[in-house]
Structure 1
Amino acid sequence: MRKLLVLLTGLALILTLGGFARADGFDRGLVTVTFDDGWTSQHTNALPILDKYGIPATMYIISGSINNQPAYMTQAQIQDFANRGHDIESHSVTHPHLRELSAAQLNVELTQSQATLRQLFGPKVATDFASPYAEYNDAVVAAIKRVYKTHRAFDDDGTDNSGFNTRANYNPYNLRVKFVESTTSTATVQGWINTAKADHAWLILAYHEIGENIGGDTYHTDTAALDAEMRAVKDSGLGVVTISQGAAEIAAQAAGN
């Protein structure tokens, strides 16, 4: 009997180490690739890489920048993403600091962005939102809930789960995210992927400019680095989903419990 117990204990340990979910994990690990703002370099430099590895992305678009500035995508370029199955989502009209707006101004940024994106790209887009500068408070989130199904927030809680969405911490209006910047190594991204796989967590990656740095800050990624990171995503064994797909999958799991 003792030998049997030892064997069963050892088998349980092997299965756990082999990738079965932790108690607070989802049914499987997920990874989502998102791009903010709608920079032209995302079409020029990122789209061919997404095509290469078959990665569906979520594009958070500043609606007021469409067709207005050469640094940002045109309607036709964003439509190119939509035609290839990528999600087109909202990132406000003018990319303001939402916490500094009046209630009326905030409502315009949320509703007009959605209305414009749906007018340009169809009634099924712009169901999800990401706050500019990753800034928000309770009033902002309450307003977002009246318009959108999810809100991508920020990795700022300082815990071991920072940046990873798990069954224990999941909130569709506080989706945790890992921002990939010029200082973020591919090895770091690979480590995040490994953690999501081991914990059956949902990893959301956020990119900005690709192969350019018009913004003059750290929010850009070399094209070669994006290629390596998308290859890592492709080879990860994780479920590669858009924001809307991930939220729907998790909602279905919750409904089944």
Structure 2
Amino acid sequence: MVSNRKIALIRFSLLATLIGVLSISSFAGIGFIHSLLATSIGTNGIYDKVVILNFDDGRKSQFTQAKPILDKYGFKATFYVVCNYIGKKDGYMDWNEIKTLHKEGHDIGSHSMNHVRLEKLSKKNVEYEVGQSKRCLQDHGINPKSFSYPFDSGTDDKNVINIVAKYYDLARTASSPITFLRCDGWKKQSNQDDCRTYTDKDGLTYANRYTVRAWSQDATRIEDSASDNIMADKFIRIVDSQIKYNNAGTIKAIPIIIYHRVGESGDRYNTDIKLFRAQMKYLHDNGYKVSTMADLAYNDKSNYLYLKDLKAETEQPIKRVTTPTIAPTTNATTNVTTPTIAPTTNATTNVTAPTIAPEGNPIIQALKKLFGLK
């Protein structure tokens, strides 16, 4: 059986070959090209592939290096910041940069006050690190909805989990390349069939709303001593791994990718700027919807996670309302322009080439059958 990924590659190859032919032979065929572009990504205009991007620690390079690339593709991300580092420690963002991210639609979450291991602290100090970091952000006009555990510490500690639950809707840890929204996919680690926090025997579950599992590519690089080429391949395999779980807008599993430093040198927790750029381009070119942790919510009645802008499994999925562009247009600092396929409203353009109605063009009709268009 041919995989969805192979079908997508075949479509893109055919599209690249045929755009020139169709645009020369028929100006009326331009509408068909647009519809073909719209259906080359996803299934019937419904998102099947979603990725959540996280940036931990609040490094300045996330603003100066990663943000322009995110802007280029119109992506939003979640930035987990350490409150006592903001504007006080070299290499970290200041409040103006944090507020700019927030104003532009990025999600800001808490990563504690001082980036310490929570499991080693007293209840009083955990309260300070977790609760005060929320108040710190609120004092600057930001109301964080989620928390990220420094060093992934405290996720198996009831006292820590209960304190985190007092202040945040969700909390994120690491240790998994993909997140199952019903917490039912980690058969080796647990026998869960939902995302409740405690088992019937009052033990903590492996995955729940306060231990949302994510993948740290930096930690994987260090553990595997992996090159950029290996990490590029691993990234593609991880983000594509959700395809076998998701279908026709029903999202059951998503990867949450964690970054730390971007475009810096001399640090193991750094992602080379070329690698990061290639990863974001892959998401854009292959029709991934990029979301934030703020887009993730919890159903208290049924005990599962879901994406707010995509309806629950039992409901009709939401279709896309806009056609994806070939090239991004939102980055004011980058010389990127959307290619104009054909003029549509310029009355002064002297066009003498004969037009052929799409319905009468046998090439277009054949391609419509190939791509399942009406």
Q: TM-score range by the shorter chain?
A: 0.7 to 0.9
Tell me the residue number matched to 1:54.
74
Per the alignment, do residues 239 and 105 of structure 1 end up closer, same or farther by CA in structure 2, a change over 3 Å counting?
Answer: same
Q: Does 1:187 align with 2:230?
A: no
Q: Number of aligned residue pairs: give it.
A: 228
The runs of 4+ residues in structure 1 deviating greater than 3 Å are 248-252, 254-257
What's the C-alpha RMSD, in Å, of the aligned pairs? 2.6
Which structure: larger Rg?
2
Per the alignment, do residues 254 and 153 of structure 1 end up closer, same or farther by CA in structure 2, a change over 3 Å counting?
Answer: farther
CA deviation profile, 1:161-199 (whole Å, cap 9, x unmatched): x33112441522221111122536111101111102332
Tell me the residue number matched to 2:254.
202
Q: Does 1:172 align with 2:209?
A: yes
Tell me the residue number matched to 1:229.
279
Within 5 Å, give how 1:208-247 maps onto structure 2.
208-213=260-265, 216=267, 218-247=268-297
CA deviation profile, 1:83-130 (whole Å, cap 9, x unmatched): 2110011000000000000000000101110011111133xx311000
Q: Hey, which of these two has a bigger chunk of helix by percent? A: 1
* TM-aligned CA deviation for residue 236 of structure 1: 3.4
Give the 3-state SS of the residue equivalent to 1:121 in structure 2.
coil
Whichever residue aligns with residue 214 of structure 2, its letter is: V
Q: Which sits farther off after the overlay, 100-109 or 137-146?
A: 137-146
Residue among 111, 123, 142 paired with 2:131: 111
Q: Does 1:72 align with 2:92?
A: yes
Distance 1:180 1:36 in 2: 12
Give the 3-state SS of the residue equivalent to 1:56 in structure 2.
coil
* TM-aligned CA deviation for residue 18 of structure 1: 7.9
Distance 1:167 1:49 in 2: 28
Whichever residue aligns with residue 86 of structure 2, its letter is: I
Give the 3-state SS of the residue equivalent to 1:72 in structure 2.
coil
Give the 3-state SS of the residue equivalent to 2:55 in structure 1.
strand
Give the 3-state SS of the residue equivalent to 2:297 in structure 1.
helix
CA deviation profile, 1:51-110 (whole Å, cap 9, x unmatched): 011111000000111110121000011112112110011000000000000000000101
Distance 1:211 1:14 in 2: 34
CA contact (8 A) 1:29 1:199 kept: no
Per the alignment, do residues 154 and 40 of structure 1 end up closer, same or farther by CA in structure 2, a change over 3 Å counting?
Answer: same
Distance 1:140 1:213 in 2: 34
Whichever residue aligns with residue 261 of structure 2, its letter is: E
Distance 2:74 2:129 in 1: 32
Higher relative contact order (CA 8 A, sep 6+): 1
Give the 3-state SS of the residue equivalent to 1:234 in structure 2.
helix
Gaps of 5+ in 2: 9-46, 184-194, 196-207, 247-252, 299-305, 317-374
Distance 1:205 1:178 in 2: 5
Normalising by structure 1, we get a TM-score of 0.80
CA contact (8 A) 1:30 1:246 kept: no
Give the 3-state SS of the residue equivalent to 1:189 in structure 2.
helix
Q: Does 1:139 align with 2:159?
A: yes
Q: Does 1:127 align with 2:145?
A: yes
Tell me the residue number matched to 1:253.
312
Distance 1:96 1:255 in 2: 41
Gaps of 5+ in 1: 1-9, 20-26, 156-161
Distance 1:140 1:62 in 2: 17
Tell me the residue number matched to 1:22.
none
* TM-aligned CA deviation for residue 254 of structure 1: 7.0
Give the 3-state SS of the residue equivalent to 2:255 in structure 1.
strand
Give the 3-state SS of the residue equivalent to 1:146 in structure 2.
helix
Tell me the residue number matched to 1:95.
115
